[in-house]
């Protein structure tokens, strides 16, 4: 195989995968990471522990300090997210190089191409967090392990240990590679205690700040956080047995829905069927190849398949709910096993052509996905398969609630418009998404002291709602002025004073890591009667994005009312001229936003984002 073609493909594929990240959504986890990186760059905070995983701090702050570098150089959210994307995309280059050294150029290209096909890895692209770099560090660890096993060198052994430690910092499910790495690198450490000690020290190096912090606070019981729940051995075994019994259902659901997430990005547009077909063809070929490997007694490949299966089982045993991000770590060896099994189906003379075809198909699929993500600026929302992201054992909702979506690369321009507007109150979905951003772009563009208020009554008020929701509510297209984010700005006709008024500022501590406090938060109930003039709409937005323990009931004289239009953050009721009774139960009423709008009036010029007809870039800084 000519070397120039794969290199050109790699360059294009790297940029194509990285280009998905600017269209990603800043959720609390990604915003927490960015906020810590910015706080370090601004000298406001120097954490000794890394991201919270399942309410526990298990790892060092490597990821936070890595993110602080572009912020310290003056980058804004857009460029930082691009950097995360490029680092994630480096998995393709590492897989290509590792495949070439481990097998052949054909294996390297096929492995990289299969890792590029949009599937479960889309979780790490749509939500940029520490999980986004798990694959690249896993592959680096495997690469250095192979080299250490070949030459017995201490340098490669130490680099393997550091890469594996950083993969663990990406997500603890990377622990599944420990036996494989130990076996591949055994020549470098077997019966060499000093080398083994050096490798263990290299592995522990990224943990050092956390270890020092824990030792320093050991005298204070509250200074350390529980990493496991107590219970008798019988209770622990019962939990593990129940999780083990769920393995077939989780594995089946995960396998059958591999293309569900990227396909849902299309929102019904053409192309999703082809992506489903591509994964179906690859899956059938892999199954056939696995059976042939068993028939031909290819014990090395059978051992790899068994290792992948056992690794999946270990991940299932870790938690009761199996978030899609937990399985990102297993994707590199799963892709390798699939490539090797498919090779059993094709005659040897077709391997090179098959890898080229897979490379073309995978690149086309990613470019199609990037094009589908551009439509978010038409509607301001995406109907993602959120249920399977939270738990892969669940089957996708055929009609998921639309998720309001502001691209990560639009947050800088959004923040610049908010600089100095202390008397502006933001309402609706735009306020909820800004809450999820933890004020990162606002602090980057306006300074760490800048704050904006979400909900409440004071000064000017402006609601930002997805264009897709307003279309479902029946707002005339002629009344639209859709900004570059896919949102429409509206002037509320009334804002309820009993709710809202949450100050948005840079927050690197959220969410609170104490599970006991989280579980025992107290809630309050507020009841209010609302005048609802005909031809207006009543809207209630959850500015906490699901973390406020919020429930509400809306009733008219005729009885309870169900929402006439919804997103995942906002519910809307059409007013019919009579009063409505609202009962809200929540932990923090400042994170409840209640207001009325009229969709009969034209939208107003947006105070919080550049309109569509303004040429400008939101990338600077």
What is the pLDDT, as a whole number, of residue 612?
A: 39
Integer-rounded Cα radius of gyration of the chain: 26
Residues of the chain with pLDDT under 50: 219-230, 513, 610-621
The Cα 149–Cα 184 span in angstroms is: 6
The owner of tokens 């070397």 is: 3
Q: Identify which of 77, 92, 71, 87 has the alpha carbon closest to the alpha carbon of residue 30.
A: 77
- Which residue bears the tokens 């320093």? 216
Distances (CA, A) of 469 to 383, 405, 523, 553, 569: 12, 12, 30, 21, 11
Q: How far is CA 418 from CA 28, 137, 454, in A?
A: 20, 38, 12
Q: What is the largest CA-CA distance in the chain?
A: 83
Task: Give the separation between CA 138 and CA 288, rounded to whole angstroms.
Answer: 28
- Positive or negative torsion for Cα 513, 516, 517, 519: positive
Asked whether 146 and 138 are in contact (CB, 8 A), the reply is no
Token pair of 458 as six digits: 């004071």
Contacts 24+ apart (CB under 8 A), 237-241: 239/320, 240/317
Helix/strand/coil (H/E/C) assignment for every residue in 533-566: CCCCEEEEEECCCCCCCCEEEEEECCEEECCCEE
- 436 with 543: CB under 8 angstroms? no
Contact 526, 550 (CB under 8 A): no
Q: Are 188 and 194 in contact (CB under 8 A)?
A: no
Give the separation between CA 56 and CA 514, rounded to whole angstroms: 8
DSSP type of residue 496: -
Tokens 């590679």 belong to which residue? 177
Q: Please report the pLDDT score of residue 518 as a whole number.
A: 62
Please check whether residue 379 is in contact with residue 49, taking contact to mean a CB–CB distance below 8 angstroms: no
The encoded tokens of residue 592 equal 């409840």
3-state SS, residue 571:
strand
pTM of full prediction above 0.85: yes
The number of residues making up the chain comes to 621
**What whole-number distance in Å separates Cα of residue 536 and Cα of residue 576?**
8
Cα 163 to Cα 488: distance, rounded to the nearest angstrom: 45
Per-residue pLDDT at 151: 92
Whole-number Cα distances in Å, 485 to 71, 482, 488: 23, 8, 9
DSSP alpha helix (H) spans, 131-232: 134-151, 154-170, 178-184, 186-189, 193-204, 208-216
**164 — alpha (psi -120 to 50), left (phi > 0) or beta?**
alpha
As a whole number of angstroms, the distance between CA 285 and CA 3 comes to 27
Say if CB 473 and CB 565 are below 8 A apart: yes
The closest of 450, 411, 412 to 621, measured between CA atoms, is 412
Phi/psi for 34 (5° steps) reads -65, -40
């Amino acid at each position: 195989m000519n070397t120039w073609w794969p290199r050109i493909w790699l360059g294009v594929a790297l940029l194509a995968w990285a280009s998905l990240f600017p269209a990603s959504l800043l959720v609390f986890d990604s915003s927490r990471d960015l906020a810590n990186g910015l706080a370090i760059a601004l000298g406001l905070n120097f954490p000794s522990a890394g991201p919270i995983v399942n309410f526990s701090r298990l790892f060092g702050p490597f990821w936070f300090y890595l993110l602080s570098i572009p912020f310290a150089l003056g980058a804004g959210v857009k460029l930082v997210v691009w950097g995360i994307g490029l680092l994630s995309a480096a998995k393709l280059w590492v897989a290509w190089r590792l495949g070439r050294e481990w097998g052949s150029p054909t294996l390297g290209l096929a492995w990289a191409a299969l890792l590029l096909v949009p599937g479960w890895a889309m979780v790490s692209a749509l939500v940029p967090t520490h999980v986004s770099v798990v694959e690249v560090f896993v592959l680096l660890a495997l690469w250095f392990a192979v080299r250490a096993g070949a030459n017995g060198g201490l340098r490669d052994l130490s680099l393997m240990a550091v890469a594996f430690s950083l993969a663990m910092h990406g997500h603890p499910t990377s622990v599944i590679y420990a036996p494989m790495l130990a076996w591949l690198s055994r020549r470098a450490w077997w019966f060499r205690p000093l080398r083994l000690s050096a490798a263990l020290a290299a592995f522990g190096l990224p943990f050092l700040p956390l270890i020092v912090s824990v030792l320093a606070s050991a005298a204070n019981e509250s200074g350390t956080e529980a990493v496991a729940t107590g219970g008798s051995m019988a209770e622990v075994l019962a939990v593990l047995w129940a999780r083990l019994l769920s393995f077939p259902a989780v594995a089946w659901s995960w396998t059958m829905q591999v293309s569900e997430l990227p396909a849902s990005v299309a929102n019904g547009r053409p192309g999703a069927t082809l992506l489903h077909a591509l994964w179906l063809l690859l899956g059938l070929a892999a199954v056939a190849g696995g059976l042939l490997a068993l028939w031909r007694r290819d014990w090395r490949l059978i051992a790899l398949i068994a290792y992948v299966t056992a690794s999946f089982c270990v991940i299932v045993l870790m938690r009761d709910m199996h978030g899609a991000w937990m399985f990102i770590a297993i994707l590199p060896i799963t892709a390798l096993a699939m490539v090797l099994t498919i090779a059993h189906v094709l005659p040897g003379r077709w391997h090179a052509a098959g890898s080229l075809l897979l490379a073309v198909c995978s690149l086309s699929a990613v470019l199609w996905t990037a094009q589908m993500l551009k439509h978010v600026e038409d509607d301001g929302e995406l109907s993602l398969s959120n249920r399977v992201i939270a738990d892969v054992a669940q089957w996708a909702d055929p009609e998921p609630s639309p998720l309001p979506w502001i691209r990560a690369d639009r947050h800088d321009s959004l923040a610049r418009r908010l600089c100095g507007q202390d008397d502006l109150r933001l309402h609706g979905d735009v306020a909820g998404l800004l809450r999820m951003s933890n004020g990162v772009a606002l602090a980057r563009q306006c300074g760490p002291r800048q704050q904006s208020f979400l909900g409440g009554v004071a000064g000017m008020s402006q609601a930002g709602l997805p264009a897709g929701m307003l279309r479902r509510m029946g707002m005339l297209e002629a009344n639209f002025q859709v900004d570059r984010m896919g949102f429409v700005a509206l002037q509320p006709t009334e804002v309820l004073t009993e709710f809202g008024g949450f100050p948005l500022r840079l927050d690197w501590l959220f969410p609170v890591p104490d599970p006991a406090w989280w579980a025992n938060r107290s809630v309050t109930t507020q009841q209010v009667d609302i005048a609802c003039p005909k031809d207006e709409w009543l809207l209630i937005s959850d500015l906490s994005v699901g973390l406020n323990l919020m429930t509400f009931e809306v009733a008219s004289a005729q009885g309870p009312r169900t929402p006439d239009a919804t997103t995942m953050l906002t519910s809307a009721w059409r007013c019919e001229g009579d009063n409505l009774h609202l009962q809200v139960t929540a932990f923090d009423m400042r994170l409840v936003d209640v207001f009325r709008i009229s969709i009969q009036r034209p939208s107003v010029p947006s105070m919080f984002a550049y309109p569509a007809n303004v040429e400008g870039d939101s990338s600077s800084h």
